[in-house]
Structure 1
């Protein structure tokens, strides 16, 4: 994902912070310049005596290199921000905490004019909230096609609601040679585990019982650590087995 795509895919909170955390690569990325800081690495401060973790290093980077997200955002082209040059100047004055009279003296106008601009910007904020809510609801309408999980599966609740789009994205990331190919790595996140296990389960016949050896043979075709897959099938409730472990079947 390039710099522009990364910025516009970020949430309001992420844009306010100036960075986004990418779980797949376990790193923080600056939304202004795409500088990255890897989670788990300690980064030295300029005085060489302090060290920051990745998130604090990113916050420091934005402050030192870009001053503030507020200044960056109000300085964006009008076609992106919808803010005129005059509104930008007013917002910068508001950020400084200047009184209306002080601002009026700086821009050459009356305090009532400044108050009127404050009112118009507040109205613009309300309109933006309504529009964002409308777009959010529109996205929710598009995302109501949730993937049904196997009825016996555990760990499935509203926190793990998965859309078809999410499922396709996860599977493409973990089955890079296609859905009939091998699993590259086994995910650590619960939601991704469910998606991957659900897919692998399709390789078994729900009306058939399998020996442990037969289960292993199927899973070996998918992933080298077939023991982990078999264990998670039981733990997550996708499969059940006899007490002596001689028979396995898809849990109904």
Structure 2
């Protein structure tokens, strides 16, 4: 899930409206519901927006938990705060929460107050930032590339502008269609750009064996082991511990 492409309301609902595709898209699994179609759920038929809501209810009933624990790079809540929020979501009283956590009801009230203050701070910052973004006349050289969801460590390596990305793609690849890498650079920023492009080329819904993945990577670059290792290291791909399956992280 790319946080820059969705609004707070989208995150709360669990889906977004995609004007380009004329559909509603589930944020968890990215299934799209075309606005021009009706969808059968059980014995009933629903228009697209109601269908994606029913989809969330049936296929992702624990969306709140996913939202609470997802996006580790941005989720700065403590374990206790996450637990309190979970009980709040369930409608638990202060006493119920206190008994469950072996704390006093007054401590629970303090936690609620702290969370409410965090929400106010976030709301204020978001409004100020959005105003600044809307008034700024951005150019490709200034616009930052979004950090991918499963980045293992977000630091200055990910401070990449669209202009830097485009320049790297032009110089590092012999061609983009088909994808042919000329050389794998030493600079970390450039590695990230190249790995993102390779991950984009691979099928996100596919579970590759090591042989199958090697076959795909061999068509892009001859040093298969290096590319495969960095795709895992930077969080673009994941694999089973025994190496029997590899997949692109969604």
The alignment's TM-score, normalised by the length of structure 2, stands at: 0.52
Change (3 A) 1:77 1:21: closer
- 1:106-160 deviation digits (Å, cap 9, x = unpaired): 0011111111111111111111111112211211221599xxxxxxxxxxxxxxx
After superposition, the C-alpha distances for 1:148-203 in whole angstroms (9 at most, x for unaligned) are: xxxxxxxxxxxxxxxxxxxxxxxxxxxxxxxxxxxxxxxxxxxxxxxxxxxxxxxx
1:57 aligns with 2:51: yes
**Alignment partner, residue 109 of structure 1:** 103
Q: Displacement, 1:10?
A: 0.7
Q: Give the 3-state SS of the residue equivalent to 2:70 in structure 1.
A: coil
Structure 1 residues 68 and 44, CA gap change in structure 2 (3 angstroms) = same
User: Whose RCO is larger (CA < 8 A, sep 6+)?
Assistant: 2
Matched, 1:82 2:85: no
Q: Which has the larger radius of gyration?
A: 1
Deviation at 1:38, TM superposition (A): 0.9
Tell me, yes or no, if the aligned pair for 1:16 and 1:69 is still in contact at 8 Å.
Answer: no
Structure 2, gaps ≥5 residues long: 140-250
Q: What's 1:228 paired with?
A: none
Change (3 A) 1:77 1:39: closer
Establish whether residue 28 from structure 1 lines up as the match of residue 24 from structure 2. Answer: yes
Name the counterpart of 1:248: none
Q: Distance in 1 between matches of 2:138 and 2:74?
A: 30
Aligned-partner SS, 1:80: coil
C-alpha distance in structure 2 between counterparts of 1:24 and 1:96, whole Å: 36
What corresponds to 2:66 in structure 1?
72
Deviation of 1:79 (Å): 2.6
Residue 73 of structure 1, CA deviation: 1.2
Among candidates 118, 125, 133, match of residue 112 of structure 2: 118
Gaps of 5+ in 1: 146-252
Match of 2:126 among 128, 132, 155: 132
Residue 118 of structure 1 aligns to a residue whose secondary structure is helix
Contact 1:73 1:81 in 2 (8 A): no
Runs of 4+ that moved beyond 3 A:
none
Cα distance in 2 for partners of 1:75, 1:66 equals 14
